[in-house]
Amino acid sequence: MNVIALSWWQLAMAASLVLALAACTHFARLGMGKSLLVAAARTAIQLTLIGMVLEALFAVGSLHWVALMGVAMLLLAGREVIARQKYRLRGGWSFGIGTLSMFISAFSVTVLTLVAVIGPDPWYAPQYAIPLLGMLLGNTMTGVALGLDRLTESAHRSRDIIENRLMLGDTWTVALGDFRREAMRAGLTPIVNAMAAAGIVSLPGMMTGQILAGSPPALAVKYQILIMFTIAAGTGFGTFAAVAVCARRLFDGRERLRLDRLVAG
């Protein structure tokens, strides 16, 4: 099956729908028209640029360039983790924790999937490695960001409860236990909802893209199941690691709650 090529005027027709939506938000006084247009412009520019980069990367196919691309994606994802947190740890700790947890989870799951499951030749083939890593990082980033935000906000809001538990003799792990579990659940909720709705409420993006590109639906389904499972693993382990390290950072060596280590985002 041949893929139907899209021209720029066809994309402009789709962009006109976003312009119409921005106009509606303006007249409704929602205050989101400018943000919507900026986001749409960023989408077009960023995707165009990454398309050019990927074409060059696919042509070269070198492990060094693939690794460099992966590191750049990881650092940008780490920045996005802390960009929208209400409270974050001082001194770059939130960035470090988020980046490290995503590196441990997303990168390890990506390499394992490439080597042991898909098995391209070479194993770092960019047409497999970059999209897989991108999907894992994007979803892990969301889980880590939600988990850290929920944990730090809960600790700030419930300071009296936590300190009362400490005064009654609880360890820091017990005093913060409920809030840690809530934070981990918050980080896992999006991927759990996505898996529960896949194939019933929505057709996931990778599967839809493969079908539009001409792949047999059965093959697209297998790849989508693989992607959903790897995303769930990466998001879960990344969120667990980030929340655990951040929770420990909220206490000093004498198990005192140290909210002075938080700064408003």
Angstrom distance (rounded) from CA 238 to CA 143: 8
- Average pLDDT in the chain: 89
Angstrom distance (rounded) from CA 102 to CA 94: 12
Q: Provide the pLDDT for residue 251.
A: 94
Q: Provide the pLDDT for residue 220.
A: 84
- Answer yes or no: are the C-beta atoms of 147 and 243 closer than 8 Å: yes
Instruction: Render 202-235 in DSSP notation, one character per residue.
Output: B--HHHHHHHHTT--HHHHHHHHHHHHHHHHHHH
Q: Provide the pLDDT for residue 1.
A: 52
Task: Kindly indicate the confidence band of residue 206, based on its pLDDT and cuts at 50, 70 and 90.
Answer: confident
Angstrom distance (rounded) from CA 259 to CA 262: 5
- Determine the average pLDDT of the residues in 225-235: 92
Type of residue found at 72: A
Q: Provide the pLDDT for residue 218.
A: 86
Task: Please tell me the number of Cα atoms within 13 Å of 101 on its side-chain side.
Answer: 32
DSSP 259: G
> Cα dist. 241→184, 185, 248 in Å?
10, 13, 11
Task: Kindly indicate the confidence band of residue 2, based on its pLDDT and cuts at 50, 70 and 90.
Answer: low
Q: Which of 264, 261, 241, 243 is nearest to 251 (CA)?
A: 261
For a pLDDT cut of 70, what percent of the chain falls above it?
98
Structure confidence by residue, pLDDT tens digits, 34-52: 999 999 999 999 999 988 9
- Determine the average pLDDT of the residues in 65-73: 92
Structure confidence by residue, pLDDT tens digits, 234-261: 999 999 999 999 999 999 988 899 998 8
Is the pLDDT score of 222 beyond 60? yes
> Cα dist. 9→1, 5, 12, 16 in Å?
24, 12, 5, 10
Angstrom distance (rounded) from CA 208 to CA 214: 10
Angstrom distance (rounded) from CA 230 to CA 107: 11
Is the pLDDT score of 175 beyond 90? yes
